[in-house]
Amino acid sequence: MLSSLEALRPKKRLFLGLLLASEVFVALMLYVAWRISYLGLENIFEHLPAIFAAILILVSTFSFGALCNMVLAVKGLPTLKFFHRYSFAIIKFLFPLAVRIGKIFNIKRRQIEGSFVAVSNLIFMKSGIKVPAKKLLVLSPHCLQLSTCPHKITRDPNNCKRCGGCNVGDLMKLADEMGFTFFVATGGTLARQVVKKIRPQAVLAIACERDLMSGIQDVYPLPAVGVLNIRPNGPCNNTRVDMDEVRRVLAQIVA
């Protein structure tokens, strides 16, 4: 059973490989742009081509250094925390290109997004972030609630009767035990509003690959870690979450 679960987990190397390919492509395009503009820049100022080249090399080297830092994290080697804060900015810039490159090799966007979440979580853990439970916000999608449940829990999860029909009651119980804030959101807009209102020091989000990727980037630089939901009935319908995985993540980030 464990081996089958491991096989389903997103592969971090997939996302990093596509990011590296994107980085190489952008570097080549910058070089081409420099070569094309060389004479025009030289006509403006004799040393301008060299200055422009130095800037491009500096930007490319910095970006490549951040990617190397992610690779070190995946390999379990020491990393430079200096690069952690810039990782998501670089990812946000390169991701659209990574998706396009993935299409060439018939790699689905969902696979890339899942790999991103795995890499992002690793960077989060490598950063050694610890927050008090009362400063942690746990966000859940509304599809975690049983679709036949008559009790409206979005905006107020305390309406949950904890009947055991879905994982919402389990999360409510865990929130009572540990003291973190738990909220059920109907979408990204409401989730962002909650983050702005509560102002937590960190976020643990439960969602699908797409929503986790967009959510983690939306709240940046606020640190966020994601737990993928389980979809036995397809997306957005009576989803579940591995509570053991939620507890494991909480144990690592709650001070």
Give the domain extent around 48: 2-126
Residues 6 and 122 grouped into a single domain: yes
Residues 172 and 78 grouped into a single domain: no
- 116 and 182 in contact (C-beta within 8 Å)? no
Query: Which residue intervals of the chain are DSSP H helices?
Result: 2-8, 12-44, 48-74, 81-104, 109-126, 168-178, 188-198, 209-219, 243-253
CA 94, CA 240: separation in Å to the nearest integer?
31
pLDDT at residue 195 is higher than 60: yes
Where is 180: in which H helix or E strand?
A: none
Alpha carbon of residue 15 to chain centroid: 12
pLDDT at 10: 61
Q: With a threshold of 0.75, does the pTM exceed it?
A: yes
Segment 173-199 shows an average pLDDT of 90
Residues 234 and 139 grouped into a single domain: yes
End-of-domain residue from the set 63, 92, 126 = 126
CATH number of residue 203's parent domain: 3.40.50
Residue-wise pLDDT for 53-99, tens only, equals 999 999 899 998 888 888 888 777 877 877 877 777 888 888 889 99
Residues 142 and 70 grouped into a single domain: no
Residue-wise pLDDT for 104-147, tens only, equals 999 999 999 999 899 889 888 887 889 999 999 999 999 999 98
Residues 116 and 7 grouped into a single domain: yes
CA 227, CA 57: separation in Å to the nearest integer?
37
State the CB neighbour count (10 A cutoff) for residue 250.
18
